[in-house]
């Protein structure tokens, strides 16, 4: 099947001032769209043309000759996951099952914030910071470039994109400020709780 670019789950200005409409316009309409276009070009006429996006990512991850396909297909999945990881009026202390799980596995929300921030700010170059479920325990992990928990047997709960294109227009080089704002104002805890239940 052809890989589709999903619409954003909110208006382009819905996350302002934390993430501007201009950033979402470039990030979704240009960057995310380009990954979709490139991945579709790379699967056209191959046995993967009819596969699901998840199947394409897993097949490409297992084949070093398909690095370009992996990078583009994984970035399609990562960005769709990112849009859902954010919500207007999100962030701050979690509610529901994830609040209990964070307390159990990190000790406190404050320790979780500190650990997540250290990983997100410290990820060298382009990549992602993730809250994942790994063997029944919450963990925070950084991945480089397009790498994704999907191919490491871990369940992603939410992600923060730390590629410069995610924050440069709004924060320039101040990645720590972007990560702090992401945790305080953007995390979609309803999405995290839904992923936890899956
Ligand atoms: Mn991005």
Q: How far is the CA of 56 from the centre of ligand 1 (A)?
A: 19
Strand (E) positions, the chain? 127-134, 137-144, 155-161
CATH code of the domain made up of 97-197:
3.55.40.20
Q: How far is the CA of 32 from the centre of ligand 1 (A)?
A: 7
pLDDT tens digits for 83-102? Answer: 999 999 999 999 999 999 99
DSSP state of 86: B
| One pLDDT digit (tens) per residue for the chain, 198 residues | 699 999 999 999 999 999 999 999 999 999 999 999 999 999 999 999 999 999 999 999 999 999 999 999 999 999 999 999 999 999 999 999 999 999 999 999 999 999 999 999 999 999 999 999 999 999 999 999 999 999 999 999 999 999 999 999 999 999 999 999 999 999 999 999 999 999
Q: How far is the CA of 167 from the centre of ligand 1 (A)?
A: 9
Q: How far is the CA of 107 from the centre of ligand 1 (A)?
A: 31
CATH code of the domain made up of 21-85:
1.10.287.990
Query: What local confidence, expressed as pLDDT, does residue 10 receive?
Result: 98
Ranges of CATH 3.55.40.20 domains, the chain? 97-197
Residue 23 CA, distance from chain mean position: 15
Which residues have a Cβ under 8 Å from the Cβ of 2 and sit 6 or more positions away?
40
Q: How far is the CA of 89 from the centre of ligand 1 (A)?
A: 21
Angle made by CA atoms 165, 168, 174, in degrees to the nearest 5: 130
Q: How far is the CA of 134 from the centre of ligand 1 (A)?
A: 24
Helix (H, G, I), strand (E, B), or coil: what is residue 187?
Answer: strand
Query: What local confidence, expressed as pLDDT, does residue 172 receive?
Result: 97
Q: How far is the CA of 34 from the centre of ligand 1 (A)?
A: 11
Q: What is the dihedral of CA 139, 158, 15, 177, to 10 degrees?
A: 20
Ranges of CATH 1.10.287.990 domains, the chain? 21-85
């Amino acid at each position: 099947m052809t890989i589709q670019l999903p619409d954003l789950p909110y208006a382009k200005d819905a996350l302002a001032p934390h993430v501007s409409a201009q950033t979402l316009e470039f990030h979704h309409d240009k960057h995310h769209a380009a990954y979709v276009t490139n991945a579709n070009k790379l699967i056209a006429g191959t046995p993967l043309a009819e596969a699901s996006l998840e199947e394409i990512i897993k097949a490409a991850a297992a084949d070093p000759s398909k690095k370009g396909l992996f990078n583009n297909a994984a970035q399609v999945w990562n960005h769709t996951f990112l849009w859902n990881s954010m919500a207007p009026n999100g962030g701050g202390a979690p509610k529901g099952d994830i609040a209990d799980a964070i307390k159990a596995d990190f000790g406190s929300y404050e320790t979780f914030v500190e650990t997540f921030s250290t990983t997100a700010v410290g990820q060298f170059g382009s990549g992602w910071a993730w809250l994942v479920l790994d063997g029944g325990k919450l963990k925070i992990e950084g991945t480089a470039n397009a790498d994704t928990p999907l191919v490491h047997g871990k369940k992603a709960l939410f992600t923060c994109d730390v590629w410069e294109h995610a924050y440069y227009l709004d924060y320039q080089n101040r990645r720590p400020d972007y990560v702090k704002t992401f945790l305080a104002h953007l995390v979609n805890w309803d999405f995290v709780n839904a992923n936890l239940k899956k």
